[in-house]
Amino acid sequence: MITKETLIKFLDSRVKDFSKISDKIWEFAELQFKEEKSSELLSSFLANEDFTIEKNVAGIKTAFIGSYGSGNPVIGILGEFDALSNMSQKSGIACKGSLVDGAPGHGCGHNLLGTGSLAACIAIKEYLKETGMKGTIKFFGCPAEEGGAGKVFMVRSGCFEGVDVAMTWHPASQNIVWKDSSLANNQAYFNFKGISSHAAASPHLGRSALDAVELMNVGANYLREHIISDARLHYAVTNTGGTAPNIVQAEATVLYLMRAPQSNQVRDIYNRVCKIAQGAALMTGTKVEIEFNTGVSEFKPNIPLTGLLEKNLKRILPIDGYTNEDISLAKSITDTIPSIDTFLSRLEDKKLAEHIRETGICNGFIENITGLGSGSTDVGDVSWVVPTAQFTTSCAACGTPMHSWQFVAQGKSNLAHQGMLTAAKTMALSAFDILQNPQILKEIKESFENDLNGEKYICPIPPEISPKY
């Protein structure tokens, strides 16, 4: 008879296989929509495990779906595998040192994320195979989470139709079930076109695109007073039009990222920012071309599914597979990051706090307070069409910031592999519960419908926009 303990032992027995895959993807370190080696490695491994593979989904060459089983329930597990630019870092050291200057690196742990999700799918495949139960497990190979909104394109193309429930996780430095929402966002380029001229001999003949960018930024700064306090406006000037001050810049570009708790709020802010850009063009006698780049919706956590993940994560914790080498690396890493004394002083679990002080590692569960997350994720769009929940596990020294060289340095460590294994077990056990007890899925779906309250999903990316490779 297959039990939860059987699944746990199965995953323990395969940890070396999964660690090798994760480490390979760490080495590939491929950027958004270019994760060809990573995508092929994961999909080939699933194919060898008797999964049916559908490639090039949503018209994205690195997106794929691996399926096993038949009938309902259909359980989806999301996996990511893209890296971050300029994050190259040597493994296993507590000082900054790139492998290749300017090269990408896995500063967000997606090498672990995709592999841990794959491991969970394979464990559930074993359960379905051994028991002969009806049910389908699907691995969603989701590219370009880092700014590319890969899942939004997948949702838009109908990839998640017929899926009953979706689960995912994220590598972090603590074990937390994500009860928070997240910020929706839109991102767009504002390309200004002017007229070049000699800035001393004939400035009156020039129309400065750079002036337009600067005036737009001033206008956006004034807008900040008149939007909700939870909204955010970020910008980066991506093209100044040149480096010669004696030439009136004929072109300049600024990239804006607009965030707010709800998608409708983002759409309103985006429209206002567009008007500011048009005003800046009028003031400078230039023209502006608005190039919508990407967007994601806010995350809607499904409470019953979140509770199920929490129950199974707590069952597995505390993690006791850490080595002296793990502890040594973690303590060395903590010396390079801001002190976490304030965080530990607020931690109700004093035994866990003491363990973190002694080892630098969070091996227990941390209660998360429901609220608003400050980040954005394309998992949010999946949560609008399928009941979805996610969590984090400890894959790095406690307090390690995401998108940092410190996180990259720990990405191939046993500590990272243990966190990945914990995530795989948590999702596998939760899928086991859903397959065993139809009432659980009924409650998940009822909560999903109540949360939507009749509101329809609106894709934040217009239909004419394609993935930007």
- Please check whether residue 388 is in contact with residue 167, taking contact to mean a CB–CB distance below 8 angstroms: yes
Cα 263 → chain centroid: 18
Q: How confident is the model at residue 319, as a pLDDT?
A: 85
- 463 class by beta-carbon count within 10 Å (0-12 exposed, 13-18 middle, 19+ buried): exposed
Q: How confident is the model at residue 367, as a pLDDT?
A: 86
Angle at the Cα of 434 (from 431 to 439), degrees rounded to 5? 165
- Please check whether residue 344 is in contact with residue 174, taking contact to mean a CB–CB distance below 8 angstroms: no
Cite the beta strand spans of 344-461 per DSSP E: 388-394
All residues at 6 or more sequence positions from 100 whose CB lies less than 8 Å from its CB, including other chains: 88
Measured CA to CA, the distance from residue 373 to residue 375 in angstroms comes to: 6
Query: In this structure, what token pair is assigned to residue 345?
Result: 């002083």
Angle at the Cα of 64 (from 47 to 292), degrees rounded to 5? 170
Query: How many residues does this entry show for the chain?
Result: 469
Measured CA to CA, the distance from residue 24 to residue 12 in angstroms comes to: 19
- 336 class by beta-carbon count within 10 Å (0-12 exposed, 13-18 middle, 19+ buried): middle
- Please check whether residue 453 is in contact with residue 153, taking contact to mean a CB–CB distance below 8 angstroms: no
- Please check whether residue 93 is in contact with residue 160, taking contact to mean a CB–CB distance below 8 angstroms: no
Going residue by residue through the chain, which has 469 residues, state the pLDDT in tens, using 9 for 90 and above: 889 999 999 999 999 999 999 999 999 999 999 999 999 999 999 999 999 999 999 999 999 999 999 999 999 999 999 999 999 999 999 999 999 999 999 999 999 999 999 999 999 999 999 999 999 999 999 999 998 999 999 999 999 999 999 999 999 999 999 998 999 999 999 999 999 999 999 999 999 999 999 999 999 999 999 999 999 999 999 999 999 999 999 999 999 999 999 999 999 999 999 999 999 999 999 999 999 999 999 999 999 999 999 999 999 999 888 999 999 999 999 999 988 888 888 888 899 999 999 999 999 999 865 555 668 999 999 999 999 999 999 999 999 999 999 999 999 999 999 999 999 999 999 999 999 999 999 999 999 999 999 999 999 999 999 987 7
pTM metric for this prediction: 0.94
Measured CA to CA, the distance from residue 97 to residue 355 in angstroms comes to: 29
**What are the structural domains of the chain?**
4-182+298-452 (3.40.630.10), 184-296 (3.30.70.360)
All residues at 6 or more sequence positions from 270 whose CB lies less than 8 Å from its CB, including other chains: 186, 188, 258
Helix (H, G, I), strand (E, B) or coil at 203: helix
- 366 class by beta-carbon count within 10 Å (0-12 exposed, 13-18 middle, 19+ buried): buried
Q: How confident is the model at residue 373, as a pLDDT?
A: 61
- Please check whether residue 138 is in contact with residue 77, taking contact to mean a CB–CB distance below 8 angstroms: yes
Q: Is the N-terminal amide bond of 73 cis, ω within 30° of 0?
A: yes
H or E element: which one contains 293? Answer: strand 287-296
